[in-house]
Amino acid sequence: MATKAELIRSVADRAGTDKSTAEAVLAEFFDHAAEQVKSGEKVAWPGFGTLSMSERAPRKGRNPQTGETIKIKKSRSIKLSTSAPMKVWLLGARKKR
């Protein structure tokens, strides 16, 4: 797993800039993306994927220690749907059946 410092260093090296500039740009990107997703918009980066809001309905679960049935509240989170080119790059070409 890459740490924040490793990500900043890598982006700075690849972009040919200093680490403080890379950190500022990454922070602004993540802030903007989070704001857009929170407001219900999708954030798409062609060739990489799309960030969107995922909502989970309330449901029943089970406490693994006691076996007791519990209520799990509804929740929201950010979801990444990878693009087709990214899936090919990550997983390789798949044979058709």
Q: What is the pTM of this model?
A: 0.72
Q: Is residue 12 part of a domain?
A: yes
pLDDT at 97 over 70: no
Strand pairing report for 43-45 and 75-82: unpaired
Q: Residue 13 carries which DSSP code?
A: H
Same domain, 6 and 28: yes
Same domain, 11 and 46: no
Q: Is residue 64 part of a domain?
A: no
pLDDT at 79: 95
Which domain, by its residues, includes 91?
42-59+74-97
CA 67 to chain CA mean position, Å: 32
- The count of domains in the chain is 2
Tell me: the pLDDT tens digits for 69-80?
999 999 999 999
Same domain, 82 and 97: yes
Same domain, 36 and 83: no
| Helices within 1-76 (DSSP H only) | 4-15, 19-38
pLDDT at 40: 93
Q: In what order do the strands lie in the sheet with 43-45?
A: 43-45, 49-56, 75-82
- Is residue 26 classed as helix, strand or coil in its secondary structure? helix
